[in-house]
Chain A
Amino acid sequence: MGLLAHFQKWLTENGVPHWASYVVPALAGIIVALLFLFAMIIVFIYLERRGLGRFQIRPGPNRAGPFGILQAFADFIKVLTKEDITPTAADMPVHFLAPVVAFFSAIMILAVIPIQRNAFITNLNIGILYVSAISSLGVIAIFMAGFGSCNKYSLIAAMRGVAQLISYEVPVLLAIAGVLLISGSLAMRDIVSSQNIPFILLQPLGFLIFFAGVASELNRSPFDLMEAESEIITGYHIEYSGMKFALFYLGEYGHMVVASAVMTTLYLSGWKGPVLPAALWFIIKMILVFLVFLWLRATMPRIRVDQLMSLAWKFLLPLGLLNLFITAAEVLWQDNMGWKQFPWPFVFLNLGLAAIFIIIGSKLLFKTGGGRVEV
């Protein structure tokens, strides 16, 4: 029972009519969730710009405010005062609504993320299924933006984007299925409570597949083909300027916040931790996940579209199936022997199997020099 549910019950007990007692907690929940989202977005933007700068032996923005804290606000003000240029041949409703859909799907996932044992908006009993369903909505936004802009570059980017996003959802779902087998329930809060040791240890292969899949869904390097700056010059948001561009940007970081939160609940045991308050542990783990994404962005080049597709379908999908198979076998084998109290043999077994499968997979699959089509 979450805090909001308690609040609603308290309101009905104190004489507020039943239909009205849902409104105030709902509004309070929405406002708090949005504030949390915006606060984390600003923290992430700050970390990204300063962190990228430090990886590249330069300080990063440090002029706007002490240590550059107010840089996000400065950008926001600049973007608000820019002229909103739209091409005349663009499809106006589609072009106008695409940024809204992009940001919208990030906010909706916030409803099920548990920040603490009882701090969430709702504890849907199909929590993780809801998350993966809503994250597919982001695909529509990309396609709307690319197609409605009447620009060949954004069309190419939109086609690439749709192919990439829908083909990386399958490995992500398979990795999630591995977690579900061990935890036994789809609700997010129960997944966290069932982690005596974090699932990253029990499912290393699943974690790597999930990480790669999520990096691709978020358009982060090394999978940022949709906004590949050096080839198609910001891809699907070429024709956007002003506040619409800011909405896309916010949507991208919003997705990143939400994806880090989901990864923390699934694999890093959410809000559990020794000394500090639980909400603080959640935020720390989110930031750690984000820092790994940032580290990858600073180092890796990006891969090409056909290599991306072959990575998803020929490498991650078989590995996901193997992971599911092995997890199911382990759960069946040890279910009656109370393995949840002593899972360490499985940790080492899974780590070893993960290493073997990755090495064999890369040996079979990594081919260079392909891609030339006879014209």
Chain B
Amino acid sequence: MVLKAEPMLISMGPHHPSTHGVFRMRLVLDGEVIIDAEPMVGYLHRGIEKLAETRTYTQVIPLTDRLDYLGSMTNNWAYVLAVEKLASIKVPERAEYLRVIMGELMRISSHLMAVGFLGNELGCTFTPLLYMFREREKIMDFFEMVCGQRLTYNYMRIGGLSHDIPEEFLPAVKKFVAEMPHYIDEYEQLLSENEIFLARTKGVGILPQELAISSSVTGPVLRASGMRWDLRKADPYSIYDRFEFDIPTGKVSDVYDRYLVRIQEMRQSVRILEQAIKQLPPGEARAKVPLLLRPPVGEAYAHIEAPKGELGFYLVSDGSIAPYRCRIRAPSFTNITALRDMLIGWKIADAVVIFGSIDIVLGEVDR
């Protein structure tokens, strides 16, 4: 008697509470074990690169907000750096320091979301998420104070920032920076030594270092696999060479290491914030730039260390008021290419956890 068995096809479809957005994954299962996984993206494509060709350089900035909508400040920064490189504009010192402060606050906020949602996918019923959202609300209040919005900031302009900070900004940020290490200790107390958390995340979803490098994975995922690569130290942009901070790396690149790398990066961001606030000089917040900028003909590529990885903008200009071509190198899109190798052999429960540990945002993946 011949027993016929066939593997089961499940579509972890666009509607799912745990894919961070509209993401579809077709899994081939043998019982609960994943044999094959095929990610399908494109459900959030809005044509940002094409839209950027018909907008002036300043009008593209609100479009870049909506790429990684959880990290708008760093998106703005990457784009503005590319334009300044193209047009050779020098940014005043105060604007550089303020950009660093905004970027690091954004990094803390994005990592809080990443770790919080990782806890959610593991099954803690929203508890670590709500604790982390308490701090994220404070950061969003600072951003609202500075530019008026909580999610899509449109704050950085070519040549600096759109407005200078109000006076109540610095005392509030100082208070936040002083109490943040205590809160990070609380998060670690809740999760880092929990036996169930360890059993679910240690040794799970290992991405070997060679595979990470050959798939162009960047960001905390690459650092957790042992490679000390951070664009803030490897190719310093803006004024990052004036601050001292460490780069946390992991040894075994499993989900637990990625979680620890993000927590340590939050601590390092707090350190950078303390130094930046202390060294903030007075001055102008924006250089004198014409209203309709016409950069010289040429091309430029600028990349920064966004919270999710290396975010790069490649701009081609033909001398007119709008870019000829704007190409966005999104970190989440390249990180997803490594997903299939990380998933094979694990179970469905692990699929969600591994996927959450890469920390993608569908706005970037689909642009």
Cβ of A370 within 8 Å of any chain B Cβ, yes or no, is: yes
- Which of A49-57, A247-255, A323-331 forms part of the interface with chain B? A49-57
Cβ of B119 within 8 Å of any chain A Cβ, yes or no, is: yes
**A151 → chain B, closest Cβ, in Å?**
10
Interface centre among B120, B124, B254 (most CB of A within 10 A): B124
| Residues of B close to A6: CB separation below 8 A | none
Q: In chain B, residues 1-27, which have Cβ atoms closer than 8 Å to a Cβ of chain A?
A: 8, 10, 16-18
Cβ of B291 within 8 Å of any chain A Cβ, yes or no, is: no
**A348 to B270 alpha-carbon distance, docked (Å):** 49
Q: Which residue of B lies closest to A232 (CB)?
A: B348
Interface centre among B194, B254, B347 (most CB of A within 10 A): B347
When A57-B130, A153-B10, A369-B203 are in contact, do A302 and B196 touch as well, CB less than 8 Å?
A: yes
Cβ of A230 within 8 Å of any chain B Cβ, yes or no, is: yes
**Which A-B residue pairs are the 8 nearest by beta carbons?**
A369-B203, A302-B123, A368-B202, A301-B122, A230-B18, A301-B123, A56-B130, A372-B345
Bits for B344-356, please: 1 = Cβ < 8 Å to A, else 0: 1111111110000
Residue from the list A222, A230, A297, A375 in contact with B33, Cβ < 8 A: A375
**B261 → chain A, closest Cβ, in Å?**
18
Q: In chain A, residues 202-245, which have Cβ atoms closer than 8 Å to a Cβ of chain B?
A: 221-222, 224-225, 228-233
Asked whether, in the complex, the Cβ of B32 is within 8 Å of the Cβ of A305, the reply is yes
Asked whether, in the complex, the Cβ of B17 is within 8 Å of the Cβ of A230, the reply is yes
How many A residues are at the interface, by size bracket? 35 or more
Q: How many residues of B contact A (CB 8 A)?
A: 42
**A57 to B10 alpha-carbon distance, docked (Å):** 37
Give me the interface of B with A, judged by CB distance under 8 Å.
Answer: 8, 10, 16-18, 30, 32-33, 35, 119-127, 130-131, 134, 190, 194-200, 202-204, 254, 344-352
**A182 → chain B, closest Cβ, in Å?**
31
When A224-B123, A369-B254 are in contact, do A375 and B10 touch as well, CB less than 8 Å?
A: no
Instruction: Write 20 A-B pairs (CB below 8 A) sorted by A numbering.
Output: A57-B134, A156-B348, A224-B123, A229-B17, A230-B122, A230-B352, A233-B16, A298-B125, A301-B197, A304-B199, A304-B347, A305-B347, A368-B202, A369-B203, A369-B204, A369-B254, A371-B204, A371-B346, A373-B33, A373-B345
Residue from the list A57, A233, A301, A362 in contact with B124, Cβ < 8 A: A301
Asked whether, in the complex, the Cβ of A301 is within 8 Å of the Cβ of B200, the reply is yes
**A117 → chain B, closest Cβ, in Å?**
39
15 A-B pairs besides A301-B122, A375-B33 with CB distance below 8 A are: A57-B134, A156-B348, A298-B125, A298-B127, A300-B196, A301-B194, A302-B123, A303-B199, A304-B200, A305-B349, A307-B200, A368-B198, A371-B350, A373-B345, A373-B346
